[in-house]
Amino acid sequence: MPDLEIAAGLSFMAQFVTALVMTFLLLGFYRQYRKTYVYEWMYGWAAIAVSEVGIAGGRWAVTNLAVAPLHPFRLVPALVANVFAYLSVAWLVFGAYDLVRRRPVRLREAKWLLITAGALGALLTLPYTSAESTAAGRYLARFGVYGMLSSIAFAGVGIAIWRTRKRRDGVGLAVLSLALLAHGAQQFREGVVAVLALPSGVRPDMPLQWSFLDLLVHSLIGLGMIAALLEDEREAASIAADQVEHLAYHDAMTGLPNRPLFMDRLIIALAQANRANQKLAVLFLDLDRFKNINDSLGHTVGDTLLKSAAERVRRCVREGDTVARFGGDEFTLLIPRIEKVEDAAKIANKIIETLKIPFQVGGLDLFITTSIGVAIFPPDGSDPETLVRNADTAMYRAKDQGRDNYQLYAPDMNAQAAERLGLENELRRAVRQNEMLLHYQPILDAASGAVVGLEALIRWQHPERGLLPPAHFISIAEVSGLIVPIGEWVIRTACRQVRQWQKKLDFPFTIAVNLSARQFQHADLVSQIRSAVIDTGIDPSSLEVEITESSAMQNAENTLFKLRELKSLGIRIAMDDFGTGYSSLNYLKQFPIDTLKLDQSFVKDVMTDARDAAIVGAVISMSHRLGLKVVGEGVETPAQHEYLRREGCDFVQGYLFSHPKPPDEIEMLLRSRKGNLIER
């Protein structure tokens, strides 16, 4: 018998040492990998170590002191062993749940499960406090019930991990699962033995080999845990590497391929097309005036719109085609196999029409268009860089043609692109060297001929090309962003000039300044105008800002907000080129506009085209009903002037009265005619 007790003691000591070693191993792994299930398993092994101490202490008290069940030396170790045995199962289940579900048990549930497990262990120690309890009854309460309950837990955890094993590589989960199932079977066997021994009242003796089998299974569970952890970390590293590779070749915002991946695919597609003697197409897209949305509504709205636009473009192409984000609001498309050029043109047109559909972003209806350039292999280039560059060149031609269209590449575009780039560089220099100047065109009362205002029109005094009108450089200023500082200079210069004339000539006229679409969407526009009015000392009502119908409707809500801010400063608002865009009469009613400017395309043929005449008359009548003044632009003949006057047009402007002139000539003109430019 002493030899048997020594062997049992060694078995308990080995299990204690195994639990303690696993506790410190898992603590080290947790500090390195920070996996929460490792932390939970660490507590589970620590609880097993404490439970083994309780079991060993109880056996020592019985063997060496021969104490009764109610003695503290026997009761306390039993309580410790029971409570921590149940806690160890709870922590093991928590860790397995975390490993399988990829998320830890919520703190509230974990706390109550631990309290329940500890209370159950303490409750099942009560038979030790009863003098009537038999040895078999105490064994059933302490080991039998634990064996039954823990066998269910181990079996459930083992099955769950086994199922997870199918989705992951390696043998760690398989070893852990099988070891847990084996341990569950052992615990179930111990529960059955305890139940069968109850009628006899005698505690059953367990063969010593069962203890060593427990030690073996515990060791396998520990090895399985470590192997599962290392395999999990290897899988996480592999996933992280895949994510890094994905991020290296994909755009983080839209998920589309980025520039390097697009160029790689284009290289491969070109090699295949060359071998098969096939055509392929490269499309270069740029969202028109997208920066205006970022400036006016913020980058959050802009990013959401960009992702939605990218998804629409992706849906317009075939499975084997590539849509990539090249940067900013630019996208490229690779169409690997096309039969004829018309196939690429159809795709471009489909994208244009798809992007015209309003976008719903944050409760706003946003409208955007796109300009697309198309280059075809082999006629437009035989290498990736040339094809992309030529598609980009064709895209800029599309913008020059009014945006919202596509253009096929033509060889002469490169020369134009180079000229455009050179002009942009010269324009930047012109802004720095003050080569910009303003000319002014009078606006007259249609009935009396008295000058009521002047429109400021920018010119560029180019050192080599001479005086350039806006048509030669405004579009480049828009695209490059130079329109913002140029526009601010125009406002300040015009305000300063009209203030001087008002003092010299004692004329109560206004000065009209054009605002470009990009300038109007700029976040600091209102503060810039307010600053110019205050610094120059001009009466705010003497300044009239003109916005075009199309730019006003790009973002109607933002337009309404900006116009109301300007109106609150006392500044007058005019809508230029009315009738050429797509405005809503409902918005026209809401906008705080003072003046409508009839586009010269209607005035030009008002005497020969009955439809133009009808439109002019209807606009004048509608404007007056809305309380608006009307300016007829582009008046070149007395007949046109007379017709507008007869229809009730308030003001007129055009070459009939005066071309745009520099400040000194305008001042001489006003002095000589005494403010009236119509000969009577």
Residues of the chain with pLDDT > 70, as a percent, come to 85
Structure tokens at 133: 């309890």
pLDDT score of 5 more than 80:
no
DSSP codes of every residue in 109-158: HHHHHHHHHHHHHHHTTGGGG-TT--HHHHHIIIIIHHHHHHHHHHHHHH
Q: Give the containing element (helix H, strand E) for 595.
A: strand 595-598
Least confident of 62-76, 455-469, 588-602: 62-76
Residue 75 CA from chain centroid, whole number: 64
DSSP codes of every residue in 453-500: EEEEEEEEEETTTEEE-GGGTHHHHHHHTTHHHHHHHHHHHHHHHHHH
Long-range CB contacts (within 8 A, 24+) of 376-379: 376/279, 376/280, 376/281, 376/282, 376/338, 376/341, 376/344, 376/408, 376/409, 377/270, 377/273, 377/279, 377/280, 377/281, 377/282, 378/273, 378/274, 378/279
| 552-588: burial string, b at 16+ Cβ within 10 Å, e else | bbbbbebbeebbebbbeeebbbbbbbbbebebeeeeb
Task: Tell me what pLDDT residue 531 has.
Answer: 93
Residue 237: band (very low, low, confident or very high) from pLDDT cuts 50, 70, 90:
confident
Ranked by mean pLDDT, the top range of 50-54, 161-165, 355-359, 402-406 is 355-359
Structure tokens at 534: 């205050």
Q: What is the pLDDT of residues 607-661, one digit of tens each?
A: 888 888 888 898 899 889 889 999 999 999 999 999 999 999 999 999 999 999 9
Least confident of 353-357, 389-393, 565-569, 673-677: 673-677
pLDDT score of 254 more than 80:
yes
Question: Whole-angstrom Cα distance, residue 420 to residue 415?
Answer: 9
Average pLDDT, the chain: 83
Which residues, at least 6 apart from 247, have a Cβ–Cβ distance to it below 8 Å? none
List of domains in the chain: 2-246 (1.20.1070.10), 259-410 (3.30.70.270), 423-673 (3.20.20.450)
Q: What is the pLDDT of residues 552-602, one digit of tens each?
A: 666 667 778 888 999 999 999 998 877 655 555 666 677 888 998 888 888
Stated pTM of the model? 0.49
